[in-house]
Amino acid sequence: MDEIAENTLDITRQENVTRILDAAERLFRHYGYSKTTVADIARDLGMSPANIYRFFASKVEIHQALCGRMLATAYQIAYDIRHQPISASERLRRYVETQHQLTLDLMLDEMKVHEMIIVAIERDWHVIEKHIDRVHDLIAEIIAEGIAAGEFVEQDPVVASRCFGAATINLCHPQMVAQCLAKTNRASVDELIDYVIRALKK
């Protein structure tokens, strides 16, 4: 098989994968993850379940791929903020505010999406751990630049990044956001961000 034919097959395969994931996400959002079957996805696409299994071994694998796609979007947002021409403090602030809003928009306003994320977290999939590591790397880079610019005190940026993530997790973790949203005895988003950024400066 020549290179052009191989490339064509790759493109066709990716198009089919994308169609399956789009249909699955649409059905998961409408009916919920637990109530949607591979047969439902196949029916929505006008194909047989066997055709779905050519690309994904199970519904769990489809879900995992969808989770990876959603996390990739969240990472791209974080990556873009990391490279904005503003101070390190403002980039950290913008990152947490944006991730918090993303959590609210995608995971709480649409409870079916929230269900998808909770299932993924409970299964402790490697795609989530990989995402956390990649985001920590971005935050460490921002902190290192803040140290170099004199915004933050001298410290290990890797350790500081992990502490920053731990201190703001209840603004980004869907379960914690859901639990804390209506409570009045919790720090506000701005109060918590101010606190953790102030800690980097001392």
In the chain, where are the structural domains located?
1-57, 63-200
Distance of CA 129 to the CA centre of its chain: 10
Query: The pTM is what?
Result: 0.78
Q: Position of tokens 């994308």?
A: 18
Tens digits of residue pLDDT in 12-51: 778 889 999 999 988 988 888 888 999 999 999 999 999 9
Rg (CA), the chain: 20
- Residue 30 has what pLDDT? 82
Determine how many CB atoms are found less than 10 A away from the CB of residue 26: 13
**Topology of 1-57 in CATH?**
Arc Repressor Mutant, subunit A (1.10.10)
**CATH number 1.10.357.10 is the correct assignment for the domain at 63-200:** yes
Tens digits of residue pLDDT in 132-173: 899 999 999 999 999 999 999 999 999 999 999 999 988 887
Both tokens of 1, joined, read 């098989």
Sign of the torsion formed by the C-alpha atoms of 22, 24, 29 and 30: positive
> What DSSP designation does 105 have?
I
SS3 122: helix
